[in-house]
Each structure stands twice: as structure tokens, then as C-alpha cells.
A and B are shown apart, each in its own frame.
Chain A
């Protein structure tokens, strides 16, 4: 009778904190291994686009005004932080759907929350080197002395979180991979040019500035800017609220998409 024990399914509990942490570690490793070659290339591309944008922005002006230089230098890190989670993330999920590996990944015996937090960790890791590079290059090129305050830590964590979760929700909730790709392409266009991230909101037509007040990207720039400069931005509290609210929307959409049965 005792031989039967070997045939029974394992009885380890699939819940509890240690199971969650184990899943989190396993999935972080899973993502890093899945991206391995990519991650290096991605970091290089991110650093180059960040540096390119910081340097290229000066070419728009005969002599770049100090305020414009400060805005672009503190805005490009925001783009570095969100681009992986917001653009690459949904495109990877779309690719999984096309290659039919999506159902397999969904079926892994891990809590969905651990999977989401693992992906957030990877996006944050992929964004941080570029943030540092953009800031250093801005300092060298424009001679800006940033006054970094502890507020930069929650700002960076929250900005990356909201960007990643919005992308996560988009990737999982939209069934058609083509639509996902199209939306992400449009989004990067909007974040770069039509949201007050690399320039102040008063340079936009007032209707567009008002519209942007409801969206998270301008507010992400406000909170990151608040951690890098002093006395430059106001209304920091409401910006935190808006970015957090969008983060919660991202989590809610992701949860809805992942929990329902296909």
C-alpha cells in the first residue's frame, strides 16, 4: 500500500507568502532568461535614444533656453522609465498570442499577482540604466545641477509601475495582436510629442493641455521633475493622485483580463 504514495500528486500548498515569493523569484528569472540577449540590446537602445533626445533637442533652437534644457533633461527619464512596460511589454504579449505560447504562459502554476510584480521588476531594471545615462548626459551637455531629493524614489517607482501596469492591461485585455501593436505605436508618439513630458504644458493649445490633465503622462513628468529639481513644479500631490489612479486602472484591467476564463 505504501508504494501508492509515489503516485499521488504532490501535496505542497500553492498559496501563502513563501509560495508567492518563490513564484515571484522564478518568474523574474523566467523573464530575464527569456529576454537575455534582448535585455543588453534593449538597454543600449534605451541609453542611445535617451542620450540622442537630450542632445538632439538643442538643435531645435539657435541657443537653447535654460528652461527648455531643464524640461527636456527631466522629461526624457520619464520616457526611459515607461517605454519598456508601456510599449515593449504589450508587444511581447501580442507576440506570445501570435506564436500560441500565450496559453502556456498563462497556465503556469503561479499567482497572477506574482507574475505581474515580476514583470514590473524587469521593466524597472530595464529602464534605470537609461535614466541614469540621460541625466548624466544632460548634466554634461547643459551644465544642469540637479537637486536630487528623496522624493525621486517614490516618483520613479510609481511612474514605472503605472506605465508597466497600463501596458500589462493593454497586452492582456486586447485580443488582437495587430491592434495592440498599433495602439502602442500611437502611444509612444503621444507620450513623446503630444503630452507635456519634455516641454511645459503651457506650450500646448489649452484644449490639449486640459485633455492631458486627465492622462497620466504629464503628471509622471511632474512627479519625477519634483524629485530632480526644487521649486520648478507645483501641484505635486494631485499629480501623485492621478498617476496612482491610472496605475490602479491598469491593475484592474489586467486583473479583469487575467481572471476571466477564455
Chain B
């Protein structure tokens, strides 16, 4: 009378690049399933925030000159990407924390780095159509002819990735949802009024421009503008480097929180 042998434990190795990539694939599918609820709303927000603000700012001028129109139009994609990374992502993370979804996701048998990478991948991809649409609306409104170069592709992708990485890292590193809300609102205020995104940087006093050069927002606008027209952007390398540094900072914050135990 032999007793039943204990059920065998899974013998799949949960490590190695193969397992990581498989986890990335399944986590992306998992996130995509959840994104179905709000992906359409996201595009609407982007059109409102990007094109809506570009159109609205046009009303502020007694006369919109060609240069003003060029700045307004070429700043629009950055305006459409910023609220996704700096508002929507932190908000959804703090909501998930409150609802407990976050702990559930972390308990899944997938490397947390693959989970974070899946989030970055998905949000970056989803934020691009809205940015393009917002640009289309703005360029139609102001009748600006754009001079599109291949630079636009790496520029826009880096901007989207940077915004999402910093927003995600910030939301992970700060545990109080109220504080996150306060920061995102303050950031939007800085973005909408005190960053030269749709305004020529020449209008800004020196000290403010120096601050903006270190922050990501102005550099996002510069990197995207360089791909849409010629002659307005100088010092593009510097902007790329600063954006890369912010992306790395977002990843570092994410890695720090994801790697430690609660």
C-alpha cells in the first residue's frame, strides 16, 4: 500500500533571459487587458491637453505671427505626452496602491523588472498616437508647414519613455497619494505657464531658463521640435543627454523601490 507520492513541484526554471522575455510578453498582455478600459480616454485627454492648449494659447496673442504659430504647433506633441507620464501614470499607480491591485501584480510569478518594463513599453506605445493626433490638429489650426525629419522618431520615443519612467518612478518612490497629487498638479502648473514649450525661450528671464534647461519639459519640446522644423533648435545633444539622464533617474527610482522588500 504505497502512499501517493507528493505532487511534484514545478520544475520550470524561473530565471534566465528566456524566462524574463516570456514574463515581459505575458505582463504586456496582462497590462494591455487592463488598458482597454481607459486607452480611448487617454487619447481624448491628449487631444484636449495638446491641441486644446495650443489652440487656447493662440487666443492669448493679439496677432499670431508665423514664428508664434511654429512654436505653438511644434510644442504640441510634448504637451500631449507630459500629462500621460506626469499625471495619468502616477494617478493610476496611486489608485492601484489604494485598491490593492499593485500588491497582487507584484505577487505574480514574473520578475518585477519585467513587470516594470512591460508598463514602460505599453504606456510609451499607447501615448504616441495621441501625440501625433494633437500635432495634426494644431498644424491644421495654424496652417503651419512642417519640415519632418527622421529625428522625430527617436526624439518622440525618448520623450514618451522619459515621461513615463519618471512618472512611474516618482509614484513608486512616494507612498502618500495626496503628495503625488500635489506634485503632479504643481508640475502641470509649471509646464503650462513657466516652461518654454509652446513659447519661444527668448521670452524667459535668464534664471528661469536655466532652471528649465535642467528640467525635462523644455528639453522634450526641443527634441521633438528638432524633428519637425529646422533652424529653431540649438544644442540638441545637450537636450538628448538631459532626457536620457532623467530616464535613467526614473529607472533608478523604480529599481530601488522594486528591488527592496516591504
Contact = CB atoms under 8 A, between A and B. Distances in A.
Interface residues of A, number: 20
A256 interface: no
Given A56-B193, A59-B199, A199 B60 contact: yes
B104 interface: no
B58 to A, nearest CB: 9
A146 interface: no
A194 interface: yes
B38 interface: no
A62 B202 CA distance: 7
Nearest to B201: A59
B199 A199 contact: no
B62 A193 contact: no
A241 B193 CA distance: 34
B59 to A, nearest CB: 5
Contacts of A49: 189
Interface string A54-90: 0011011110010110000000000000000000000
Interface string A36-49: 00000000000001
B204 A65 contact: no
B199 A60 contact: yes
A204 B61 CA distance: 10
Closest 7 CB pairs of A and B: A193-B56, A56-B193, A59-B203, A203-B59, A60-B60, A199-B60, A60-B199
Interface in A180-196: 189, 192-194
A88 B64 CA distance: 34
6 contacts: A59-B193, A59-B194, A60-B57, A189-B48, A193-B53, A199-B60
Contacts of B61: 60-61, 203
B129 interface: no
B59 A60 contact: no
Given A56-B193, A59-B194, A198 B60 contact: yes
A52 interface: yes
A60 B59 CA distance: 11
B62 A52 contact: no
A65 B48 CA distance: 28
Contacts of B53: 193
Contacts of A52: 189, 193-194
A151 B165 CA distance: 52
Interface of B: 48, 52-53, 55-57, 59-62, 189, 193-194, 196, 199-200, 202-204
Given A52-B193, A59-B199, A60-B199, A204 B59 contact: yes
Contacts of B193: 52-53, 56-57, 59
Contact of A65 (B57, B62, B199, B203): B62
Nearest to B195: A59
A114 B53 CA distance: 40
A192 B56 CA distance: 9
Contact of B62 (A53, A194, A198, A203): A203
Nearest to A48: B189
Contacts of B203: 59-62
B166 to A, nearest CB: 22
Nearest to B193: A56
Nearest to B59: A203
A67 B196 CA distance: 23
Contacts of B59: 193-194, 199, 203-204
A14 to B, nearest CB: 40
B41 to A, nearest CB: 10
Q: Which of B48, B199, B203 has the most CB of A within 10 A?
A: B203
Nearest to A41: B182
Contacts of A199: 59-60
Given A60-B203, A68-B62, A193-B53, 11 more contacts: A52-B189, A56-B193, A56-B194, A57-B193, A60-B61, A193-B59, A198-B60, A199-B59, A203-B60, A203-B61, A204-B59
Q: Which of A65, A203, A204 has the most CB of B within 10 A?
A: A203
A10 B193 CA distance: 58
Contacts of B48: 189
Contacts of B202: 62
Interface in A197-251: 198-199, 203-204
B60 A189 contact: no
Given A52-B189, A59-B199, A189 B204 contact: no
Contacts of B204: 59
